[in-house]
Structure 1
Amino acid sequence: MTNKKIGIKKQLPNNFLAERMILNCLIFNSEIIELTVETLPTKAFYFKNHEQIYKAIIFMQRYRLSIDIFSLTTFLQENALLQEIGGITVLIELTNEIPNLLDLEEYIRVVKDKFLRRSLIKFGYKTINISYITNISLEKTLEQLENELLNLTTQTKKVLVPNSAELLNEVFLNLKNQFLKPSLPGLPSGFSELDLLTQGFQKSELIVLAGRPSMGKTALSLNIALNALKISKLPVLFFSLEMAKQQIMYRILATETNISQTRLKTGQLYKNDWIKFNKTIKFLSKLPFFIDDSPNISIQEIRSKIKQVLIEQNQVGLIIIDYLQLIKNINVNSQNRVQELSSITRSLKNLAREFNLPIIALSQLSRNVENRVDQKPILSDLRESGSIEQDSDLVLLIYGNKTNPSNKYSDPIIELIIAKQRNGPTGKIYLNFDKDSNKFVEGIEVMDKNN
């Protein structure tokens, strides 16, 4: 890397008048200081003397000192800051006119806009400079830059704390809409009994789908993804940390065509199969289904890829991660697996809230379940259970130790247990599972295997 860093030569974005008008408003009405401080950091002021005056006003407010032109001048003088801000002339100029408090919000918006633009420019130069440093791994460099950009993005969002009247009005409107047009408040799974108990997968919820290996976790999650896509038409993003995307596609094709994976992979298709296959390909090609099979993916990378799909599609209906224990956590060092997983599950819950959408995370169950006489899984069978159980809003456990006596093909009956639901009842439903086509059917039914 060259020793001379790339510098910023042009004057950065600023608005002298807007900064001055904010200070003017604060001097004339100290009651608005707290509200202004919540919105505008001290570094938002481009001119150093304005920043110093703003800091002084905040300090005086914090210690309940009266604030006017006289007390502010005295405070600055006693703390050897008066000359630093340009003398008493600057303060007099600030108060030459009576401010219009109705315009304060617009002044703040302008100053914050310029501040964020300056921050973005500096971020750009930092990106260039840090890219020359080759003794830091590219992964850490990208993660650092992504976090800084995320912080900038977060600052552009205006978050207001709603009062009870606003919340009640929102509840009333939701109830009214449900009364006029009855529908699931959440994203449908495509299984009516499950949707009846859960009212669909709710926005900002973390849903955990857990089971022992080969119980059909991936297959069920793909069935849910396809059902949600067909019903809601909203994009679905599937993260496959264990299986390649080609394998995922074979499973999806088997589910949609009812042709076994074996015959699909070996090309043993009959004439009718080809007709069904081509029709399915055309249909699936139109669905906004995104599959990422990056191994050892981190939470930061998941967030980044969700944003990419959001930018392209404008919205996302559902995120599915297969599976939880394979997510890489690059922020936790020298900690045990329980602490590491706690950080991951907490981050996934935060992602669900940040993007306001449901996230389904698949999870392994511990071997303890196989050592019991009753092998029906319970919440404590979740591997590294504490954090998963605590952070999740909905926990679905797959139990497949049953067969259908009325089914001559002996397809297993899967018991899907709702072991936890933060905002609803627990319970269970039964699904018939055909391993050849990776298809789940509601109730106890005989599947057509004459393909």
Structure 2
Amino acid sequence: MIELFSIPVEQAILSTVIGTEQGLDEILEQVQATDFYATQHQIIWNHVKTQYSKGESYDQVTIWEMIRANAIEANAVDEKFIINLMSCFCPKTLLPTHLKKLKDFATRRKIQDAGKQIGTLALDMVSHTSETALNRAQSLVSNLEGGLADNRLKHAHEFSKDAITEFLERHMALHNNTPFDGGIRTGFVGLDNKLGEVGKGDLVIIGARPSMGKTTLAQNFAADMMINQGLPVLFISIEMSGKQIAQRLISGIGQIELRKVLSGKAQVEDCGKINTAARILEKAPLMIDDNARSTTSTIRRSARKVQAEYGKVGAIFVDYIQRVIPLSKNNYGRSDKDIGEISGELKKIARDFECPVFALAQLNRNLENRPNKRPVNADLKESGDLEQDADIIMFIYRDEVYNKESKDAGTAEIIIGKARNGSTGTVKLATDLARSTFADLSPEYYEIQGLEGGGV
């Protein structure tokens, strides 16, 4: 009799996943405990998935401790079983082959189980007529096919219904002057008018040369989202420590010069502003990950923790994309392919968590040699994949950085180079980087400049 399972295959997958962890998100998402034949392996996989869903790390020790805490499970899996299992570690490159075999056996077992049930139905003359038995058999086969098919494959009408439903909800919200839980706002009127909104699942690239205020603008976006929109925000800070990010947020929220927050040289009224900002930040749904060696896998894990804490992720900020360590660094060694892998994974994270991901990006220094130093899409380092994956691309340009006598001192141009659902163009904002702040310009400014609505 042919056995529809392979214990060595199951052991190899479990031991490698437990021993590797990094970069295995896709496998952890698609493999279920029932794909394993051995009960012991199902128990172990359930604990791996539990840790994964909570965004927690795991190894053979943590898995064993979890099993040991359950008397029934400890009776099925002892410490020796775990030790023997970990000796079956295989190269990560073989995982796809083993995974395909595991899925193949699992599917065949499902077919076998359905066949047994259909055989029982055929012989059941008491509970079923031939017609009800046939309906039940067809249902079993249909369920089996449903489990194997891609559940994203639907008739266009299904998506059309979703689109019309959202349109009607938006229309009624506007008519009734009530909020609609749709896309995300940046908090800047001119910019929001230009973009429309940032969609859940969008990858947004914020590019600029050093000293233009990338991190400050991102923090201003984050502050509005968590304070005014009540959205849980995850800030991935690879370049700065969490304390430095908090200091800049306090400066921006409290509208107090950053140097006073850093030095402690503040007046009584300044201390009041700092205290108020700190209390606001304390209550805000913000999580900061300042891991200097962040990968897309660690970002995904942090996002799962935010989701577990708040029920959802409102937005993710990554400062900045060129500092994210690619999972396949040893395979490529070419910077453009590294960035392509990272931007593709960030886009997946945005879609998986149904929230925008804002990724800050450094620009090529070649633009410094041009007479017009305003950035364009091609100035993105390794721009091909970033340009393709991004739903929105915006750049920051402050003329005073290059021209000390600039008539535009105290303002910044936010240049929208790509917007899938909005308009490209330029929006001007006021800047007060000493207080970690960008702001909408006053209506009087636009009247003087002959501009309309904050954008050109």
CA positional deviation for 1:339: 1.0
2:123 partner amino acid:
N
Distance across 2 between alignment mates of 1:49 and 1:317: 41
SS of the equivalent of 2:265 reads coil
Name which one, 1 or 2, has greater alpha-carbon Rg. Answer: 1
Q: Which residue of 1 aligns with 2:159?
A: 167
- Return the match for 1:275 from 256, 272, 277: 272
2:300 partner amino acid:
R
Distance across 2 between alignment mates of 1:244 and 1:344: 22
Distance across 2 between alignment mates of 1:44 and 1:240: 42
> Taking structure 1 as reference, are residues 445 and 9 closer, same or farther at Cα in structure 2, changes over 3 Å only?
closer
Equivalent residues in 2 for 1:192-341, closer than 5 Å: 192-332=189-329, 333-341=331-339
Q: Which residue of 2 aligns with 1:96?
A: 123
Aligned: 1:186 with 2:149: no
Structure 1, 295-304 or 207-216: larger mean CA deviation? 295-304
Describe the superposition over 1:261-309 as per-residue Cα deviations: whole angstroms up to 9, x where unpaired.
Answer: 1111111121112222222222211110111100121111111111111
Structure 1, 367-376 or 331-340: larger mean CA deviation? 331-340
Q: Which residue of 2 aligns with 1:176?
A: 168
Question: Structure 1: where are the runs of 5+ without partners?
Answer: 14-39, 55-84, 113-154, 447-451
- Return the match for 1:50 from 109, 112, 128: 112
- Return the match for 2:436 from 435, 438, 442: 438
Distance across 1 between alignment mates of 2:306 and 2:428: 34
Structure 1, 163-172 or 93-102: larger mean CA deviation? 93-102
> Taking structure 1 as reference, are residues 334 and 276 closer, same or farther at Cα in structure 2, changes over 3 Å only?
closer
2:243 partner amino acid:
Q
Q: Which residue of 2 aligns with 1:425?
A: 423
Question: Structure 2: where are the runs of 5+ without partners?
Answer: 1-10, 16-36, 44-101, 125-129, 445-456
Report if the CA contact (8 A) 2:201-2:357 is conserved: yes
> Taking structure 1 as reference, are residues 366 and 302 closer, same or farther at Cα in structure 2, changes over 3 Å only?
same
Report if the CA contact (8 A) 1:401-1:412 is conserved: no
1:387 partner amino acid:
D
SS of the equivalent of 1:210 reads strand
Distance across 1 between alignment mates of 2:325 and 2:310: 27
> Taking structure 1 as reference, are residues 8 and 265 closer, same or farther at Cα in structure 2, changes over 3 Å only?
same
The number of residue pairs the alignment matches comes to 337
Distance across 1 between alignment mates of 2:110 and 2:194: 59
CA positional deviation for 1:107: 8.3
Name the % identity: 28
Distance across 2 between alignment mates of 1:91 and 1:172: 41
CA positional deviation for 1:336: 0.9
SS of the equivalent of 2:373 reads coil
Report if the CA contact (8 A) 1:431-1:444 is conserved: no
> Taking structure 1 as reference, are residues 374 and 285 closer, same or farther at Cα in structure 2, changes over 3 Å only?
same
Distance across 1 between alignment mates of 2:202 and 2:378: 20
Distance across 2 between alignment mates of 1:377 and 1:193: 20
Q: Which residue of 2 aligns with 1:64?
A: none
SS of the equivalent of 2:360 reads strand
CA positional deviation for 1:310: 0.6
> Taking structure 1 as reference, are residues 281 and 179 closer, same or farther at Cα in structure 2, changes over 3 Å only?
same
Aligned: 1:398 with 2:432: no
Distance across 2 between alignment mates of 1:48 and 1:160: 21
> TM-score if structure 2 supplies the norm length?
0.66
> TM-score if structure 1 supplies the norm length?
0.67
Equivalent residues in 2 for 1:105-124, closer than 5 Å: none
Distance across 1 between alignment mates of 2:232 and 2:148: 25
More helix by share: 2
Alpha-carbon RMSD: 3.7
SS of the equivalent of 1:263 reads helix
> Taking structure 1 as reference, are residues 10 and 378 closer, same or farther at Cα in structure 2, changes over 3 Å only?
closer
Describe the superposition over 1:14-58 as per-residue Cα deviations: whole angstroms up to 9, x where unpaired.
Answer: xxxxxxxxxxxxxxxxxxxxxxxxxx965336869927x97xxxx
